[in-house]
């Protein structure tokens, strides 16, 4: 793999956010049907209040999503996704002093999100839809927006039906590097790219475990790594089929283990608990430098 030339930066309202240590990305789903927080933040005032709360709890950035990608989720129309996310992005740009990422697969929404102030585009489909790569390249090259390139096998509607790999770790690594190389070839600076193995996106529990065990290897490839395991079914399965509301402690433990393996962005629902765990890790674990948060 070709290592990135520099540590990526996110540019937020308060200037650059270096990924020199693990950062907490707070999830803000403005959907009626997300698997964990669906329906809670569909109103604009509630979405802004939740973002403010996550900022107070220690979030370093916020990831806004207007289309659920949980297994079996129905796709959302362009008009509906636009209606859900754009007012939220505009309100957060005016009222919350954190970089904001937008979780979308649609090129039109990507372009509009950049105009509305998004600092990062997070595409679970790795910018493969027609037009998405061009929108991502323009966002990164012309506006300095960071791009999260995630691995997914199949589509959300059917991805968990029979996921299959010969060597999941090697295939996911090769896919991420191939997508990053394609984006770099069309003008995206290497330091705008973040990679994500896509836990739960066309993966069995065993695939997820193998990928988790390989996080340190992925991080050593030289790209910044984002990990999203918060409250996902793999956490529930490892805790004896625990329902979503009982997965907080397991999710925090997994986020910490991901940070220990070099993950730089932890995408989480439980910001306060994750930020506390990271502060203790940073202060007490010799591998984290022992200097405190």
- Residue 46, classified by CB atoms within 10 Å of its CB into exposed (0-12), middle (13-18) or buried (19+), is middle
Q: Is residue 30 part of the contact set for ligand HH2 (CB under 6 A)?
A: no
Q: Is residue 81 part of the contact set for ligand HH2 (CB under 6 A)?
A: no
- Give the residue, chosen from 88, 114, 132, 148, that forms a contact with ligand HH2 under the rule CB under 6 A: 148
Q: What are phi and psi of 195, to 5 degrees?
A: -115, 155
Q: Is 267 a catalytic residue?
A: yes
Q: What are phi and psi of 112, to 5 degrees?
A: -70, -35
Residue 217: helix, strand or coil by DSSP? helix
Q: Is residue 251 part of the contact set for ligand HH2 (CB under 6 A)?
A: no
Nearest residue to ligand HH2, scored by beta-carbon proximity: 228
Mutual angle of helices 271-284 and 248-260, in 10-degree steps: 40
Q: Is residue 233 part of the contact set for ligand HH2 (CB under 6 A)?
A: no
Active-site residue, selected from the candidate residues 84, 192, 232, 264: 232
What are the start-end ranges of the E strands in the chain?
A: 9-12, 15-18, 23-29, 61-65, 100-103, 120-123, 146-150, 193-196, 224-227, 265-268
* Choices 29-37, 50-58, 86-94, 112-120 (CB under 6 A): range interacting with ligand HH2: 29-37
Contact (CB, 8 A) for 225 and 219: yes
Question: Least distance in Å: CB of 163 to ligand HH2?
Answer: 15
Question: Least distance in Å: CB of 148 to ligand HH2?
Answer: 5
d(CA 111, CA 115): 7
Contact (CB, 8 A) for 251 and 233: no
* Choices 1-9, 23-31, 180-188, 243-251 (CB under 6 A): range interacting with ligand HH2: 23-31
d(CA 198, CA 86): 25
Task: Report the site for ligand HH2 in 167-226 (rule: CB under 6 A).
Answer: 196, 198-199, 226
Contact (CB, 8 A) for 269 and 232: no
Q: Is 50 a catalytic residue?
A: no
Q: Is residue 99 part of the contact set for ligand HH2 (CB under 6 A)?
A: no
Q: Is residue 264 part of the contact set for ligand HH2 (CB under 6 A)?
A: no
- Give the residue, chosen from 50, 179, 207, 267, that forms a contact with ligand HH2 under the rule CB under 6 A: 267
Task: Report the site for ligand HH2 in 40-79 (rule: CB under 6 A).
Answer: 65, 68-70
Residue 245 neighbours by CB under 8 Å, 6+ apart: none
Question: Least distance in Å: CB of 229 to ligand HH2?
Answer: 7
Question: Least distance in Å: CB of 69 to ligand HH2?
Answer: 4
Catalog residues that contact ligand HH2 under the rule CB under 6 A. Answer: 27, 29, 31, 34-36, 65, 68-70, 103, 122, 124, 148, 150, 196, 198-199, 226, 228, 267
Active site residues: 232, 267
């Amino acid at each position: 793999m070709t290592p990135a030339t520099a540590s990526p930066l996110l540019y937020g309202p308060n200037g650059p956010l270096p990924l020199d240590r693990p950062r907490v990305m707070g999830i803000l789903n403005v959907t009626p049907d997300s698997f964990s927080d669906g329906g809670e933040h569909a109103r604009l005032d509630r979405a802004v209040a939740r973002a403010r709360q996550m900022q107070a709890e220690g979030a370093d950035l916020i990831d806004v999503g207007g289309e659920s990608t949980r297994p079996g989720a129905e796709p959302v129309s362009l008009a509906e996704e636009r209606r859900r996310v754009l007012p939220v992005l505009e309100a957060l740009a005016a009222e919350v002093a954190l970089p904001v990422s937008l979780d979308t697969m649609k090129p039109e929404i990507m372009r509009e999100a950049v105009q509305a102030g998004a600092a990062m585009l997070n595409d679970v489909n790795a910018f493969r839809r027609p037009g998405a790569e061009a929108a991502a390249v323009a966002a990164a090259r012309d506006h300095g927006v960071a791009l999260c390139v995630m691995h997914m096998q199949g589509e959300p509607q059917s991805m968990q039906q029979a996921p299959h790999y010969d060597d999941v770790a090697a295939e996911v690594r090769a896919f991420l590097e191939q997508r990053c190389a394609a984006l770099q070839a069309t003008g995206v600076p290497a330091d705008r790219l973040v990679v994500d193995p896509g836990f739960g996106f066309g993966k069995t529990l065993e695939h997820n475990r193998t990928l988790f065990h390989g996080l340190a290897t992925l991080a050593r490839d030289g790209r910044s790594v984002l990990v999203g395991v918060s409250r996902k079914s793999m956490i529930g399965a490892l805790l004896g089929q625990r329902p979503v509301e009982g997965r907080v402690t397991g999710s925090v433990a997994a986020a910490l283990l991901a940070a220990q393996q070099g993950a730089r962005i932890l995408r989480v629902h439980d910001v306060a608990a994750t930020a506390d765990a990271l502060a203790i890790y940073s202060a007490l674990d010799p591998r984290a430098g022992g200097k405190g948060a």
